[in-house]
Amino acid sequence: MKTKTLIIGASVNPDRYSYKAAERLLANGHAIYMLGARAGTLFNLPIEAAPLPYTDVDTVTLYLGPANQPDYYDYILSLHPRRVIFNPGTENPPFAARLRAAGIVAEEACTLVLLSTNAY
C-alpha cells in the first residue's frame, strides 16, 4: 500500500466526488480512512461518523464546504498529516493559513485530477 489518506465528507452515494475519490484512491493502491455525516460501509471499509485518533494519516482530502469545516480544525491538526487537499468548493484560506503555520501543506487541488495525472 501507498500512503494513507483520510477522506472527510465521505459518502456511499456514487454521484458524490468523495465516493469517486475513495474508488480511485483504492484503485491506485492507497489505503484510506473515511469520515462522513453518517456511518456506513463503502468498498468493504467503514465510513466513521465520529473522528478517530489515527496516527498514520499522510493526506487529508476534504469534501466539506468551508462552513462545515470548523468542527474539524482541531481534529485535522491533531492528526499531523503531511498535507491537506482542499478539493474544488472546499477552499478555506483562513484554515489553510492555520495548517501552514503548523507545518502542514495546504493544497488547493482536485484529488481525482492528481490521481489521473500521477501527481498524487
Q: Give yes or no for residue 1 having a pLDDT over 70.
A: no
Q: What is the CATH superfamily name and number for domain 4-116?
A: NAD(P)-binding Rossmann-like Domain (3.40.50.720)
Q: Give yes or no for residue 120 having a pLDDT over 60.
A: yes
Position 13, amino acid = N
Instruction: Tell me the per-residue pLDDT of 40-53, one tens digit each, with 9 for 90 and over.
Output: 999 999 999 999 99
Instruction: Tell me the per-residue pLDDT of 11-41, one tens digit each, with 9 for 90 and over.
Output: 999 999 999 999 999 999 999 999 999 999 9
* pLDDT value of position 115: 95
For residues 88 and 111, give the distance between their C-alpha atoms in angstroms, rounded to a whole number.
9
* pLDDT value of position 3: 78
For residues 69 and 78, give the distance between their C-alpha atoms in angstroms, rounded to a whole number.
14
